[in-house]
Each structure stands twice: as C-alpha cells, then as structure tokens.
Structure 1
C-alpha cells in the first residue's frame, strides 16, 4: 500500500517512513541527524518517532 499524502493524521505523523525522500528530509532536519544516523536509529528503535527520539537521546 502506498503512502497517502492526503492522510496526515496522527498515525502518519508519528511514523518515520524511510522510503520517502520528503520524510527523510523532514526527519533529518527535525532531529538534527544525517540520513545514515536516521536509518540506524529507525533500524534500532523501530519506525515510531518517539522511540527514535529516545534512542537518539540515549546515544548523544
């Protein structure tokens, strides 16, 4: 199923989708990390934004 850009409710905002360039751009800027760091964090913590934030906070 493709990402419906018109459906931007909470579940969509709370997930990090690494297959969309615009999401990579948004999340790398919002979290102050590189794409590689973001990918590593999502692989380690899962796609939920809060879990990724927590993972990055523990690393830094």
Structure 2
C-alpha cells in the first residue's frame, strides 16, 4: 500500500487560528460560541480544539 506523499499533514492544520476572520467564523460555528468566547478560550488554554471545546462546555 502506498502513501500519498503529495499531502503532508502538519499539527498546525488541526489548531485553532485567530489570524483570519474566516477562520474565526468557522471555529465559532463549529464550536457554537461567540468570537469573544473563542478568543478567551484560546488565550486561556491554547489553540487545541478539543481543549477549547471542553473549556467552553465548562464555562457554560
């Protein structure tokens, strides 16, 4: 079985980025939160989506 060498996945592809408006909008939709909540969560615990999801769930 061969591996597709044209597509390499980096860890950064799975982290929350607040750099661009469209990325923030997508993360807010996927996590069901406001921009302020998303920014607070990422600043508090980092950009890992699973940790942010848990943080937002506990904050509610």
TM-score bin, normalised by smaller chain? 0.7 to 0.9
- Secondary structure of the residue aligned to 1:19 is coil
User: 1:11-43: CA deviations, max 9, x gaps?
Assistant: 20x200011111101000111111111000101
- Secondary structure of the residue aligned to 1:16 is coil
Task: Structure 2: give runs of 5+ residues left out of the alignment.
Answer: 1-6
Distance 1:33 1:8 in 2: 30
Deviating beyond 4 angstroms after TM superposition, the runs of 4 or more aligned structure 1 residues are: none
The Cα shift of 1:9 comes to: 3.4
Count of residues in correspondence between the two structures: 53
TM-score w.r.t. length of structure 2: 0.75
Larger Rg, first or second structure (1 or 2): 2
The Cα shift of 1:58 comes to: 1.0
